[in-house]
Amino acid sequence: MVKTDEEIEGAVNPTLNPFRLQPVEIVGLKQVTSDVKTYTLRLADGSHFRFLPGQFNMVSVIGIGEAAISMSSDPDELEAIERGTWQHTVRQVGNVTKALDRLQVGDRFFIRGPYGNGWPPGYPLQRVGASRDLAVIAGGVGLAPLRPVVCRRLARKTGRLEILYGARTPEDMLFRDEFRTWAQGGARLMLTADKIADGADWPYRVGLVTALLDEMEILPGQGHIFVCGPEVMMKSVVRELTERGWPPEEVFLSLERRMECGQKTCGRCQVDAVYVCQDGPVFSYAVVKELLGVDI
Partner 1 sequence: MPRKVMQGLAGEDAVVERTVFNDIVTGLQERGYTVYGTVNEKGAGIFRPLGDAGEFSLRCTGGTMPPKDLWYPPFETLFTYDRQTGEFHTDIEETRHAVFGIRPCDVHALLALDEVFLGGEYQDPYYRARRVDLPLIVFNCVEAGDTCFCSSMGTGPGLDHDYDLLITDLGRSNGEGSERFLLEVGSSRGGELARGLRGEAAVDEDYQVKKRRLQETAAGERITLNTGDLPRLMHNGHDHPYWREVTDKCFGCANCTSVCPTCYCADIFDETDFSLRETRRKRRWSWCFLVEFGAVHGGNFREERIDRLRQFMQHKLNFSMGQYGFFHCVGCGRCIVWCPANIDIAQTGRVIRGDA
Ligand X SMILES: Cc1cc2nc3c(=O)[nH]c(=O)nc-3n(C[C@H](O)[C@H](O)[C@H](O)COP(=O)(O)OP(=O)(O)OC[C@H]3O[C@@H](n4cnc5c(N)ncnc54)[C@H](O)[C@@H]3O)c2cc1C
Using CB under 6 A, list all residues that contact ligand X.
56, 65, 67-70, 72, 89-91, 93-97, 141, 144-145, 256-257, 259, 281
Give the interface segment with partner 1, choosing from 29-37, 129-137, 150-158, 270-278 (CB under 8 A).
270-278
Please name the residues in contact with 271: beta carbons below 8 A apart, sequence gap of 6 or more.
Answer: 255, 257, 291, 292, 293, 294
Q: CA-CA-CA-CA torsion for 191, 241, 134, 222, nearest 10 degrees?
A: -130
238 binds, options partner 1, ligand X, none, Cβ within 5 to 8 A by partner type: none
**What separation, in Å, do the N-terminal and C-terminal C-alpha atoms of the chain show?**
33
Select the residue interacting with partner 1 from 2, 5, 17, 199 (CB under 8 A).
17
Q: What is the CA radius of gyration of the chain?
A: 19
Interface map 57-96 toward partner 1 (x if CB under 8 A): -----xxxxx--------------------------xx--
| Cα dist from 112 to 11, 70, 78, 157, 193, whole Å | 16, 12, 23, 32, 35
User: How many angstroms separate the CA atoms of 218 and 225, rounded?
Assistant: 9
Select the residue interacting with partner 1 from 156, 188, 205, 264 (CB under 8 A).
264
Cβ at position 59, least distance to ligand X in Å: 8
Half-sphere exposure of 196 (CA within 13 A, CB side): 17
By CB under 8 A, residue 292 contacts partner 1: yes
User: How many angstroms separate the CA atoms of 290 and 288, rounded?
Assistant: 5
**Which one, of 236, 59, 227, lies nearest residue 149 by Cα?**
227
User: How many angstroms separate the CA atoms of 219 and 134, rounded?
Assistant: 10
**Beta carbon nearer to ligand X, 43 or 64:** 64
Count of residues that bind partner 1 according to CB under 8 A? 38
**Beta carbon nearer to ligand X, 95 or 131:** 95
**Beta carbon nearer to ligand X, 23 or 230:** 230
Cβ at position 108, least distance to partner 1 in Å: 9
Interface map 127-166 toward partner 1 (x if CB under 8 A): ----------------------------------------
69 binds, options partner 1, ligand X, none, Cβ within 5 to 8 A by partner type: ligand X
By CB under 8 A, residue 275 contacts partner 1: yes
Label each residue of 159-224 as H, E or C: CCEEEEEEECCHHHCCCHHHHHHHHHCCCEEEEEECCCCCCCCCCCEECCHHHHHHHCCCCCCCEE
Cβ at position 278, least distance to partner 1 in Å: 7
Residues of the shown chain interacting with partner 1 in the complex, contacts defined by CB under 8 A: 14-21, 62-66, 93-94, 230-231, 256-258, 260-261, 263-268, 270-275, 278, 292-294
